[in-house]
Amino acid sequence: HQKKQYKIQMKKADDKFESTPMYTWMVENAEDYGFVLRYPKNKTDITGVIYESWHWRFVGINTAKEMNKLDMTLEEYVEYKNK
């Protein structure tokens, strides 16, 4: 009886979404619907996750607006609110 072998290939997340009209719309309007970009480019050291243009998180309208105004990730915002 032969054992099956499986090969797993790990790739960086595809960020083609960043070049779409929907991404542009999200950047301009997402906070008005309560969403924030979960893993922004300039915050990898804080989130521990590489930039993902397609990964948006619902946090509520007021929270999204405040997080964007303060330029904070979810991790930073939670820490800021818990002080």
Catalytic (active-site) positions: 52
Q: Exposure of 76 by Cβ count < 10 A (0-12 exposed, 13-18 middle, 19+ buried)?
A: middle
* Residue whose pair of structure tokens reads 């301009």 in the numeric block: 28
